[in-house]
Structure 1
């Protein structure tokens, strides 16, 4: 099942994020992007459409969606929530496509856009 909130924002300004997009372009064939979110979630609705647009521009094709629901006690349930220790959404994990090693992780409350935050963590892979 795909997250509606990952549909690319059609008015996203890629020129403002050239450096971050370039990192993802360079790694596009070597990574898997895993996204936990909920279409009901305010933070997901505000952050994921821009991230979806950035991945689209960068040519990242291996993106896995993990829809999450919230229990009455606030805990999150859904595919791989426990395995990846998902507590807040959106959470995005970037893994090496071959080894499955986690390379970068974004969690809901960072103060920069998802693409920028992850690109900063992934830049070392380009050296």
Structure 2
């Protein structure tokens, strides 16, 4: 099962700052995306994020999606417990070696792409 909401659709990428796209494309990062097609936040945010990944040239083999369902005890789905997922959408950015460098949880002031790019840039600057 894959997330239908993680499809660029007709999202506008013209307004995405080039520095955001550059940050997403850098260093062979892996993007792990938890969401639900039933979730309003996911429906609103994930298509634009998918469009940003596409515009940044991130290959599909570096993007994993994990469909989440509502269970009696909260969110259920692949890797939910291992990554501590309790709100969606959640996006975790990891290095090729599996080190987490950024995490977006449900909402931020900007878009998912902008928030992750800011965190990636901050992590890179502190190295």
TM-score in same-fold range (> 0.5) = yes
Shift of the alpha carbon at 1:70?
0.7
Question: Residue 47 of structure 1 aligns with which residue?
Answer: 45
Question: Residue 24 of structure 2 aligns with which residue?
Answer: 24
What TM-score does the superposition give when structure 1 sets the normalisation length? Answer: 0.89
Question: Residue 94 of structure 1 aligns with which residue?
Answer: 93
Shift of the alpha carbon at 1:24?
1.4
Secondary structure of the 1:111 match is coil
2:16·2:52 contact (CA, 8 Å) conserved in 1? Answer: no
Deviations 1:20-44 (A, max 9, x none): 11211233xx111000000000000
1:14·1:54 contact (CA, 8 Å) conserved in 2? Answer: no
1:14·1:57 contact (CA, 8 Å) conserved in 2? Answer: no
Q: Which runs of 5+ in 2 are unaligned?
A: none
Secondary structure of the 2:17 match is helix
Q: Which runs of 5+ in 1 are unaligned?
A: none
Shift of the alpha carbon at 1:3?
0.6
What TM-score does the superposition give when structure 2 sets the normalisation length? Answer: 0.89
Aligned length: 123
* Worse-matched range after superposition: 113-122 or 6-15: 6-15
Secondary structure of the 2:5 match is helix
